[in-house]
Chain A
Amino acid sequence: MCLALPARIVSLEEGAMATVALEGIKKRISIALLDDVEVGEFVLVHVGYALHKVSEEEAARTLAMMAEAGVLEDEIEEITERAP
């Protein structure tokens, strides 16, 4: 449920509104649900509202976690390949 997409804040406007950019698409959204939004930050956009900020650090951490499962796999492949 709940289609939402991370997009970058490109400008802040009056009345708790902002413009976000996503691959050349620009859309006006409401930032009434967030405090202290800054230009350049990524927010999760749902039905024209920013629901939450996206954490760059955590995003990188999750990717690293995913890659880790893969690294283990590579090691196993290596081991199996070496086995007679």
Chain B
Amino acid sequence: MNIMETTTQGRAGAVDMTHGGGGRAMVELIRNVFQRHLSNAILDAGNDGALIDVPRGRLVMSTDGHVVSPLFFPGGDIGCLAVHGTLNDVAMMGARPLYLTAGFIIEEGFALADLERIVASMARAAREAGVAIVTGDTKVVEKGKGDGVFITTTGLGVVAEGVEVGGDRARPEQVILLSGTIGDHGIAILSKRESLEFETEIISDTAALHGLVADMIEVAPSLSVLRDPTRGGLAATLNEIAHQSHVGMRLEESAIPLRADVKAACELLGLDPLYVANEGKLIAICNEDDAERLLAVMRAHPLGRDAARIGVVTADVNNLVQMRTGFGGTRLVDWLAGEQLPRIC
């Protein structure tokens, strides 16, 4: 099947309530849009659930609901984001992702052409990641009761023997590594928001990280923590780990990779890049002995080219994340109160 052809042709019309009604319209939608793009043996069996062989080892399962505005943004769309987001959550457990499920909640009136574009993007992302979407669900809600489309994906993966990673495993004196520049995704999204628009070449970093993770696990037996700093950015994720592991952290601001244009956009909007979302970056914590080797492997992978050592884990009963600023002072890198809002003062 040629996906490019179908996407350029575009499908006329819009989703209506009959598409969720369980009748022929729904069957057609599933066949013409979902099955057509996502086709694989398990999905094509057409059953209520996916029948799969149980792999050896420990299973990891993770689920994530995806809502994003705008649905199409520089560097991606809600479709590939829904695949990458969940795959990454599975990968951050040290697992190799195998299968995904997808649940769609579509708002009445949503253009079928856009839906197809999204599903095609999901299919491409899943194929590139070597993962099959094996079962799914579609519901349609009345106009005004959804924001275009919401996608929930669940991922299943398997963890190899001997791999022990988790947010509670960071220990003092371990080293904190980051796979690349921060804030790209959040700023790419903001650049298209009404009333904030600005022109930029910044694109979302949305990507599936399990390939990078596989390379890393191979060389660093002491790898203790893997986590992707999505919502709330680097700051929120480091604070989560600090609390889970009952440790503190000390970061070097000047070591944290940050694109000049992302920095400028943050300055313009009054945002702190430490709190801006990423969708294709990971934090790794390992022993000092393994740090250089791990860093070299990360930098050798296309998704870890800008990887850097950004700080160390400290012993701290208050679990504070502190940072030496580029200016030479010290500041606290706290949790965020809520979503960071652009400000003028």
CA distance A23 to B268 in the complex (A): 11
Asked if B198 and A27 make an inter-chain contact with CB atoms under 8 angstroms apart, the answer reads yes
Closest approach, in angstroms, between the C-beta of B71 and any C-beta of chain A? 23
Which has the most chain B C-beta neighbours within 10 Å: A2, A22, A26, A46?
Answer: A22
Closest to A19 in B: B199
Closest approach, in angstroms, between the C-beta of B313 and any C-beta of chain A? 33
Question: Which are the 7 A-B pairs with shortest beta-carbon distances?
Answer: A23-B264, A24-B261, A26-B199, A27-B198, A1-B345, A23-B260, A22-B264
Q: Contact residue range for chain A?
A: 10 to 19
Which residues of B from 77 to 100 have beta carbons under 8 Å from A?
A: none
Closest approach, in angstroms, between the C-beta of B272 and any C-beta of chain A? 12
Asked if A25 and B345 make an inter-chain contact with CB atoms under 8 angstroms apart, the answer reads no
Asked if A2 and B344 make an inter-chain contact with CB atoms under 8 angstroms apart, the answer reads yes
Which residues of B from 185 to 241 have beta carbons under 8 Å from A?
A: 198-202
CA distance A47 to B343 in the complex (A): 9
CA distance A1 to B260 in the complex (A): 24
CB of B263 closer than 8 Å to a CB of A: yes
Asked if B344 and A3 make an inter-chain contact with CB atoms under 8 angstroms apart, the answer reads yes
CA distance A22 to B267 in the complex (A): 10
The binding surface of chain A is classed by DSSP as strand
Write out the residue numbers on chain A whose beta carbons fall within 8 Å of the beta carbon of B264: 5, 22-25
Which residues of A from 1 to 57 have beta carbons under 8 Å from B?
A: 1-3, 5, 7, 22-27, 45-47
Asked if A5 and B200 make an inter-chain contact with CB atoms under 8 angstroms apart, the answer reads no
Asked if B343 and A3 make an inter-chain contact with CB atoms under 8 angstroms apart, the answer reads yes
Closest approach, in angstroms, between the C-beta of B194 and any C-beta of chain A? 14
Which has the most chain B C-beta neighbours within 10 Å: A1, A7, A24?
Answer: A24
Closest approach, in angstroms, between the C-beta of B15 and any C-beta of chain A? 35
Asked if A2 and B345 make an inter-chain contact with CB atoms under 8 angstroms apart, the answer reads yes
Closest approach, in angstroms, between the C-beta of A70 and any C-beta of chain B? 13
Asked if B198 and A26 make an inter-chain contact with CB atoms under 8 angstroms apart, the answer reads yes
Asked if A5 and B199 make an inter-chain contact with CB atoms under 8 angstroms apart, the answer reads no
CA distance A82 to B344 in the complex (A): 51
Asked if B270 and A3 make an inter-chain contact with CB atoms under 8 angstroms apart, the answer reads yes
Which residues of B from 84 to 126 have beta carbons under 8 Å from A?
A: none
CA distance A64 to B267 in the complex (A): 25
CB of B151 closer than 8 Å to a CB of A: no
CB of B265 closer than 8 Å to a CB of A: yes
Q: Contact residue range for chain B?
A: 10 to 19
CA distance A7 to B261 in the complex (A): 13
Write out the residue numbers on chain B whose beta carbons fall within 8 Å of the beta carbon of A23: 260-261, 263-264
Closest to B195 in A: A48
Asked if A45 and B268 make an inter-chain contact with CB atoms under 8 angstroms apart, the answer reads yes
- Please, what's the 1-or-0 string for B244-266, where 1 marks a CB less than 8 Å from any CB in chain A? 00000000000000001101110
Closest to A23 in B: B264
Closest approach, in angstroms, between the C-beta of A63 and any C-beta of chain B? 15
- Which listed residue (A2, A3, A5, A25) contacts B198, Cβ 8 A? A25
- Please, what's the 1-or-0 string for B334-345, where 1 marks a CB less than 8 Å from any CB in chain A? 000000000111
Asked if B199 and A25 make an inter-chain contact with CB atoms under 8 angstroms apart, the answer reads yes
CA distance A5 to B267 in the complex (A): 7
Write out the residue numbers on chain B whose beta carbons fall within 8 Å of the beta carbon of A24: 200-202, 260-261, 264
CA distance A7 to B199 in the complex (A): 14
Given contacts A22-B264, A22-B268, contact A27 B199 (CB under 8 A): yes
Write out the residue numbers on chain A whose beta carbons fall within 8 Å of the beta carbon of B260: 23-24
Given contacts A3-B270, A5-B267, contact A25 B200 (CB under 8 A): yes
Closest to B267 in A: A5
Closest to A2 in B: B345
Closest approach, in angstroms, between the C-beta of A71 and any C-beta of chain B? 18
CA distance A33 to B263 in the complex (A): 27
Closest to B201 in A: A24
Closest to B198 in A: A27
CA distance A2 to B343 in the complex (A): 9
